[in-house]
Amino acid sequence: MFGRKFTGRRQRLAGVVLAVSSLVALAACSSATDAQSKDGKTTITLSMQNPNVKTADPATWAIVKAFEKANPDIHVEVSGQAVAEHLQALSIAAQSDTLPDVFWVYKATAEDMLKAGKLMNLKPTLDDLGITPHLPKSTVSNFTAQDKIYGVPYQGLLTGLWVNKKILSDNGLEQPTTFDDLVNVAKKLKSKGIVTISDGANQSSFSVWSFLVWLDRFGFEDKIDAILDGSESYDNADFVRMYEHIAQLRDAGAFASNVSTQTYQQAVDQYLKGKAAMLDAGVWASSAIQDSQVAADTVFWNGATFADGVGDQNIVMNVASAPLVVDHKVAGNSKKLAAVKKFLGFYYSDAAQQLLVDNGQPPVTDYEPKIDATKQSVLKSALDVARDPKLASPQSQPDLLVSTAVSSAMYDSIYGVIQDQLSPRQAVDLVQKALDAE
Amino acid sequence: MTISTPPAGPRPVTRPRRRRGLIFTGLAAYLVTFLIVLPILWVTVLSLQPSDTILSDPFSIKTLTFDNYRNAVASLPLLQMYKNTLIVALASVTIGAIVSFMASYALTRMVFRHPTARSSLRFYFLAGLAVPVYVLLFPIYRIDLALGIFGTYAALILPYIAVSIPFNTLLLTGFLREFPKELEEAAIIDGAGLFRICWSVVLPTMRPVIATILIFNVVYVFNEFPFVSILINNPDLATVSLAVSKFQGQYTVDYGGMMAAATLVLLPQLVIYAVFQRHVIAGLTAGAVKG
Amino acid sequence: MVWVSSRWKIALMLAPALALFTAFFVYPVGYAIAYSFTNSAGFGGAKFVGIDNYTALLDDPFFWQSLRNTVVILVVSLVILIPSSFALALLLRRRIAFAGGLRALVFGPAIIAPILVGLMWVFILDPKIGLLNRLLEPLGVGPIQWIGGNSLTPYSVSLVFVWSSIGFAMTIFYAGLQLVPNDVIEAAKLDGATSWQQLRHVTIPMMRETFAIVTVLLITNVFKIFELVYMLTGGGPVHRSETLVSYMYFVTFTNQRYGSGMAIAVVIFVLGALTSLAYLAAARRRSLA
């Protein structure tokens, strides 16, 4: 009975499968286009931390398009992935020495890459172009290591809290200035079921910008060198006090009940929908706020001051963000080098800086931008605070001064207290452990 | 003897009781299926909502819109992506199935001089099941560069084949072991060679398992993300799973766009699967009844 | 079978799979194992540090937390998934209108990319914006922290894993049921066996290998769960809901401790392989007894 079965039936499926597979194997050998030259154009690759640069990072996109228009012989191939994949792809590429020509990367990773000889020294180029004097001194020194300038500021990192004045006044509250004011606001709003500070930890544990400013209000800048060389501990009375203040704010009900499952984007949305009084973010959120229903009510706040803080309390975090860096191989390719040089020259020109501002970003040079006070009211309120002569800025954001492992421990320590997972002591201990592991 | 037949339930029972039993099982089947499909329906609803409504008021009816689909279709080179995915899937899945079948046949049917060689070879393949794929990313990137295939379809096809081998081997050796050998022994007596045995005797009877493998492998290739995101940096070669990720940015997520793109990816897969599996099972049942 | 088993024929049959698998799978794994003994950051120089990465894990509370979570997910998933997917395969074998369509729909979740499965379930399980709590609210059930709280996350992840795997397991069972010879069942029926007895004493014993396949696949898949957790909670709050792979991802790519990450990967590999082997050994002993 078996014989009848198999002689009677032919296997068409299998035949088709084999034919297709051999065809496809041939097709598989056809290779991708050569990126080096397209109709005699020089191509440089620019790799960013957004999968769709055109929509997610319109400022960069506008600069690239304007640059290509001004330099028809150069093609900028823009690519990008979400931060996690972008960093993963970069570290794999660095290992095989196949980095893109110009790319966005965290400062700590950039310094590791510099140590491994993967990055080009931009100092001669920048001096040549005369850009250096127009950049803030702190930025240049931030991106300098081993006497080399390895990075240039991509966009400004102007962070703090966006405040919805209307929610405050509707509840009979005033704009807080001190920490005690803030706690009172949180208590009052909690009783009304309103979130005071919108934060979201899911896949965005780094979204603790306003609390990184707190660290600087408790003497981080003075301590960090000693902490890094081991002569001072992260587990010190000042920092413990700072984390205790986070706990107080948490107990006052300042945060959303789903702070651990919502993402940063959801936190932003919460604010845009008028469901939170403040948003922990930075200037990059200004465009979204401007387009939302809360635009007219929003002002920028540099954060609470502390009576028991350490050092200057009148600060605003206005520093350079993660840098743009250049692959070391560009230096050996004269055409590419010339193209990259032109690109950098353009990026820090007044025209390009105005493009940043037009797209809701602060300029990163000393350029005085033109701002439309009504159409860009949100951005303007942030830039006004940044330019307030009474406020100083730290040299850098605290997480940018340590390795990635320590910075993620810092984020964890802050969210750990916000989510009531860690006591202030455990929080500082977590960071100290990460430092010890270095 | 037949390979299979859809069971008809207990036969000699009285008619009304049997019908009541059938209605009950039918209802149960529909209910369970509905519960399983519910989350997918929910996503379809969400994909018709603007991104901000998804977060604030997903039940809202008056905001329903096809904008997400319009955006997804406008911003994604859908044809190109499906073409890429199909090329990669067809190549890796067919080659993967063939080489796994060959190896599995050798591992279950052929006589090894050292009996332990067989079991240790099988274990060698199966151990691959326990490896999280993120371990493979760095080294495979380097191999692709060294072979000069980085940036081509082959850069994805070869690792996909390798990754499918443990799963395929597990399934094929498992079913081959359970499956009676008499058929092949009869063919050998008829004077058939190795190729004819595999091609005309074993493969036909393995159809349901082969179908299962093909389906699972195709699904894997459609959904695979870690490798594509590392090994394909040319947007012209991007597969559909890369497409969905395009809606996620550093400080933004277009939830509506993601849901719409997901639905666009999902629906054709479901349809293909529905058609494919019915075909396979129909052919199988027909063969069994006639056999 | 000896006739077709000349040495070169065996070699010919095995060679393609062996070559591909060794080059693109075994070599990379060896590479990862080698790097688990270094302090590599992924690029630049790597220094040999012996078993430091492994001893550091013993001291790492997040590692133990992620191991505990993985074990919880493993146990919960297996206990629910194996019986329910087998029952579903039996159910969908019945003569039901559109049974083929139902099988396709049940398989649906298995087709969805894990990253999207995670995203979908965020909109169901999230304590604030999720469907589940929105539906429970009118019933007077307070907001439950399905995900992101202190205790429920691993169970919620198990639930989502069961959902996404049930069609997959059901399909393998279904294919296995097709291969059970019908005459054996007929013989049992003639002997007057009830449906349950047929199932218990004929079908299930004949499908031992299929059960083994499904169980091993599920065990190894549980040890690979990543995207679900990544989307649902991002591992939080503060790594409390991390699984082994999500924690490995965090250490390798977020913290850029490639060496330590690979050490976790080796642990995952060893645990996954050992659990599968232990299961197979137990199953074999039972079948011999």
Query: Which CATH number characterizes residue C274's domain?
Result: 1.10.3720.10
pLDDT of residue B289: 31
Q: At C140, is the secondary structure helix, strand, or coil?
A: coil
With an 8 Å Cβ cutoff, are C112 and B223 in contact? Answer: yes
Whether A405 sits inside 8 A of C256 (CB atoms) is yes
Question: Is there a contact between A14 and B205 if contact means CB atoms under 8 Å apart?
Answer: no
What pLDDT is stored for residue A239 in this prediction?
96
Residue of A189, A207, A211 lying closest to A275 (CA atoms): A189
Report the sign of the C-alpha dihedral through residues A147, A221, A252, A194, in that order: negative
Helix residue spans in chain B (DSSP H): 15-47, 51-56, 67-75, 78-109, 115-126, 137-147, 153-178, 182-189, 194-196, 203-205, 207-223, 226-231, 240-245, 255-290
Pick from B43, B121, B131: CB nearest C269: B131
For residue A89, the 8-state DSSP code is H
Sequence-ordered list of residues with C-beta below 8 angstroms from that of A206, at least 6 positions apart, any chain = A399, A407, A408, A411
Q: Class for domain A157-316+376-436, per CATH? A: alpha beta
> Judging by beta carbons within 10 Å of its beta carbon (0-12, 13-18, 19+), is residue A101 exposed, middle or buried?
buried
Residue B105 belongs to a domain: yes
Assign B248 to helix, strand or coil: strand
CA C20 to each of CA B221, B259, C1, C23, C27: distance values in angstroms, whole numbers, following the listed order: 17, 36, 27, 5, 10
Contacts of C171 in chain B (CB under 8 A): 212, 215
The per-residue pLDDT for B44 is 83
Which residue range is the domain that position C283 belongs to?
43-288
Mean pLDDT for A54-83 is 91
Name which of B56, B152, B252 is nearest A273 (Cβ-Cβ): B56
Nearest to B138 by CA among A95, A356, A125, C53: A95
Distance from CA of B145 to the nearest CA of A (A): 8
CATH of the domain at B88: 1.10.3720.10
What is the predicted ipTM? 0.80
At C116 the pLDDT is 79
pLDDT digits (tens, 9 = 90+) for A2-47: 333 333 333 443 344 444 444 444 444 433 333 445 567 899 999 9
Chain C neighbors (3+ CB pairs < 8 Å): A, B
Sequence-ordered list of residues with C-beta below 8 angstroms from that of A246, at least 6 positions apart, any chain: A211, A214, A414, A417, A418, A424
Q: Do A91 and C255 touch (CB under 8 A)?
A: no
Inside any domain, residue B92: yes
Check residue C3 and give its pLDDT. 59
Residue C183 lies in a domain: yes
Spans of chain B below 50 pLDDT: 1-13, 282-291
CB contact under 8 A, C237 and A260: yes
Domain map (residue ranges) of chain A: 37-153+321-347, 157-316+376-436
Residue C85 lies in a domain: yes
Nearest residue to A324 (alpha-carbon basis) of A59, A54, A33, A130: A59
Does residue C143 fall inside a structural domain?
yes
**pLDDT above 80: residue C42:** no
The architecture (CATH level 2) of A37-153+321-347 comes to 3-Layer(aba) Sandwich (3.40)
What's the pTM value of the predicted model, to 2 decimals? 0.83
pLDDT of residue A156: 86
Q: Do A437 and C127 touch (CB under 8 A)?
A: no
Residue B237 counted as domain residue: yes
pLDDT at B284: 41
By Cβ distance, the residue of C149, C237, C253 closest to A201 is C237
- Report, as an integer, the average pLDDT of A303-326: 92
Better-scored residue on pLDDT, A297 or C98: A297
Cis ω before C237 (30° cut-off from 0): yes
* Kind of pairing between the strands at A144-145 and A102-104: unpaired
Neighbours of chain A (3+ CB pairs under 8 A): B, C
Which residues fall within 8 angstroms of residue A368, CB to CB, at 6 or more apart? Answer: none
C266, part of any domain: yes
- From B204's Cα to the closest Cα of chain A, the distance in A is 6
State mean pLDDT over A305-326: 92
Supply the range of the domain harboring residue B114.
77-245
Instruction: Indicate the pLDDT class of residue C44, thresholds 50, 70 and 90.
Output: low
pLDDT at residue C287 in the model: 61
Helix segments in A202-276, DSSP class H: 209-217, 220-229, 237-251, 264-272
The whole-number pLDDT of residue C67 equals: 94
Cβ pair B170:C217 closer than 8 A = yes
- In this predicted structure, the answer to whether residue A116 has a pLDDT above a threshold of 90 is no
Q: Is A360 left (phi over 0), alpha (psi -120 to 50) or beta?
A: left
Whether the predicted pLDDT of A100 surpasses 90? yes
Distance CA A282, CA A382 (A): 9
pLDDT of residue A211: 96
Place of tokens 């859908």: B78
State the sign of the Cα–Cα–Cα–Cα dihedral B116, B117, B118, B123.
positive
Please, which pLDDT band fits residue A122 given cuts at 50, 70 and 90?
A: very high
In tens, the pLDDT along B78-102 reads 888 889 999 999 999 999 999 999 9
The chain-wide mean pLDDT, for chain A, equals: 87
pLDDT in tens, B249-289: 656 667 788 788 878 877 777 777 777 666 555 434 433 33
C-beta pairs of B131-134 under 8 Å, 24+ apart in sequence: B131/C25, B131/C29, B131/C265, B131/C269, B131/C272, B132/C223, B132/C224, B132/C226, B132/C245, B132/C248, B132/C265, B132/C268, B132/C269, B133/B163, B133/B226, B133/B227, B133/C224, B134/B226, B134/C226, B134/C245, B134/C248, B134/C249, B134/C252, B134/C265
Q: Which pLDDT belongs to residue A35?
A: 43
pLDDT score at A403:
86
Residues 131-190 of B with CB under 8 A from A: 137-138, 141-142, 145, 150-154, 157, 182-183, 186-187
Residue C7 lies in a domain: no
Predicted pLDDT at A254:
94
Please write the tens of the pLDDT for every residue from A123-152.
999 999 999 999 988 888 889 988 899 999
Question: Can you give the pLDDT at residue B16?
Answer: 61
Under a CB-based contact definition with an 8 Å cutoff, are residues B260 and B278 in contact? no
- The predicted-structure confidence for C5-20, as pLDDT tens digits, reads as follows 677 888 888 999 999 9
> Considering the domain boundaries, does residue B269 fall inside one?
no
Q: What is the pLDDT of residue B278?
A: 62
| Contact between A415 and C238 using a beta-carbon 8 Å cutoff | yes
Q: Answer whether residue C211 is part of any domain.
A: yes
CB contact under 8 A, B249 and A3: no
In a domain, C284, yes or no: yes
| C124 closest CB neighbour out of B1, B39, B169 | B39
- Residue A1: per-residue pLDDT: 33
Q: Is B146 or A427 the better-scoring residue by pLDDT?
A: A427
Total structural domains within chain C: 1
Report how far residue C91's alpha carbon sits from residue C85's, in angstroms, rounded to the nearest whole number: 10
